[in-house]
Amino acid sequence: MAYDVVLKSTEMGTGDKELTQNLMLAFLHTLTEKEEKPENIVIYGLGVKLAAKNSEALPDLKELENDGVNVVSCGICVDYYELNDKLGVGGITTMPEVVDILASDNTVVHP
C-alpha cells in the first residue's frame, strides 16, 4: 500500500501539549519501525518545526529520509518561521509539488 504522511503540527491530536507532542514523536518513531515506509512526508504549517535542527523529531525524520522517504517542508512556512538555514532534514517544497503529492493515488495519512 503506497501512502504519504502529512505533518501540519508539532502535535498529534488534542489535549495537553506535553501529551500531544509526545504522541507526534511516538508516531514518527513508529514509522521508522514499519516495514513499509511512506513515499513522502509533507510538512507544513507549524509542523515545519519538526524538521528543524533542534527538533526532537529530527533523528527519526533523518532515518526515514535515509530509508528513501522524500521529506519536504513547505517553503512559505519555512520562511514564515524563519527556518531557512535551520532545517536539519529534507528539502523545501512548493505548493504545486504539495498539490501533486496530495493528489496522487497514494493514501494520505494525517496524524
Residue 19 in grid coordinates: 501529551
Which is nearest to 42 in space by CA: 78, 84, 1?
78
pLDDT by residue (tens digit) across 27-68? 999 999 999 999 999 999 999 999 999 999 999 999 999 999
The whole-chain average pLDDT of the chain stands at 97
CA distance 111 to 97: 21
- In order of 9, 23, 46, the CA distances from 77 in angstroms are 11, 22, 8
Average pLDDT over residues 79-96: 97
Q: How confident is the model at residue 73 (pLDDT cuts 50, 70, 90)?
A: very high
